[in-house]
Amino acid sequence: MTSYRPPLDGIRVLELGSSVAGPAAGRLLADLGAEVIKVENDEGDGLRTWGPPAPDGTSWWFKSHNRNKRFVRFDLHAEPDRATVRELALRCDVVLENFRPGRLEAWGLGYDALRIDNPRLVYASISGYGQDGPYRDRAGFGNIAESMSGLRYVTGFADAPPVRVGISLADELAALYCVVGIQAALLARERDGVGDYVDVSLLEASVAVTQGMLPEYDALGVVRERSGNSHVAVAPSNIYPTRDGRWIAIGANANSLFRRFADAIGRPELADDPRYRGNRERTEHGAEIDAIVAQWTRLHDAAEADAILAAAGVPAGPVNSIADIVADEQVRARGVVRHLEDDAGNRIATTAPVPRFRVHPTVSHHAARAVGADTADVLDELRIGGAS
């Protein structure tokens, strides 16, 4: 049987990022087989101190978030180290960075400076607002982008303040769009022989997933408001309380699904009720339908309700904590949770690479390493002198 390499094997990436968005993009590229060389100063990426620490003092999050990378230590404020990093960049296919716009240009490490000697370079920047425009020089963080993009405006209940999603959503979205851009630029490079500049902003990545909000406003002047857990365009689609104090999500919003749901709960007449016959009618009477659904779910434990609806072909699933996720049979069967070792042999829980491939393998080698752990090896392999 033929053995194939990971999809991005042979692609070398220099990561000049910190915190969440840039390193998340680097992690995704490393999962796909790219050699990702992460540059840190003596103190290391600030994310090393976010959250509960592992035995060596580095956060568990950092060890998972920066898996499969190589770690080199250079101080970009020091000219000798900048010169070495420039040499590294010129030996790479991709430079990935999330500094404030203009910072790397001032250090001679911007795209225009590097592409002179490496015209095939793909250079990817993640910033708060993009590389131009009136907000270009503002500091940008995910929570600000989520707020300014409208994501938080529509998240929460109508009678309560906007709320955040429980993770750094804007950063992860920007990372995903950045990786899409990098892969597209690499593919175009094979066709055209030149690299490109990939410009991703946290704000635009967040606006890009607002779905119908923009066309509805542009055409109808509709400003979507917070609607809690109900869906503004379909019904029933909500989360409902169960007998055991948990919650279950149910999406029986298509006509055929609603009929299956009605049969499953012993109320087949609901599907023929004129108030609920089509999606528009059900949405207009969404509060009534939610009350009917909740009346049924309260009679069952979450697992029981889930089993009944699964057997009926109705999309449903419990609202899971991380403990529930780890125990979930689908998660376990698919190997979603994996363990990698760090330098000291500590087992670090992390997620399996996404997406999966039938032919080409992805990478799960090791958790994040210590600051500068690979500096000497990387410089030796690439025949670069001047390490500090």
Please give the pLDDT value at position 1: 63
Please give the pLDDT value at position 388: 45
> Of how many residues is the chain composed?
388
Q: If you classify domain 247-318 with CATH, what class do you get?
A: alpha beta
String of DSSP letters for 254-291: SHHHHHHHHHHTT-GGGGG-TTTSSHHHHHHTHHHHHH
Catalytic residues: 171
Domain residue spans in the chain? 12-209+333-381, 247-318
Please give the pLDDT value at position 231: 86
pTM surpassing 0.75? Answer: yes
Sign of CA dihedral 8, 11, 17, 22: negative
Residue written as tokens 């900048």?
A: 82
Report, as ranges of residue numbers, the positions in the chain whose pLDDT lies below 70: 1, 386-388
Q: Let me know: does 8 contact 362? Beta carbons within 8 Å.
A: no
Please give the pLDDT value at position 2: 78
Per CATH, the number for 12-209+333-381 is: 3.40.50.10540
Q: Report residue 251 as tokens.
A: 């999406």
- How high is the mean pLDDT of the chain? 95
Residue 219's contacts (CB-CB under 8 Å, 6 or more residues apart) are none
Please give the pLDDT value at position 88: 97
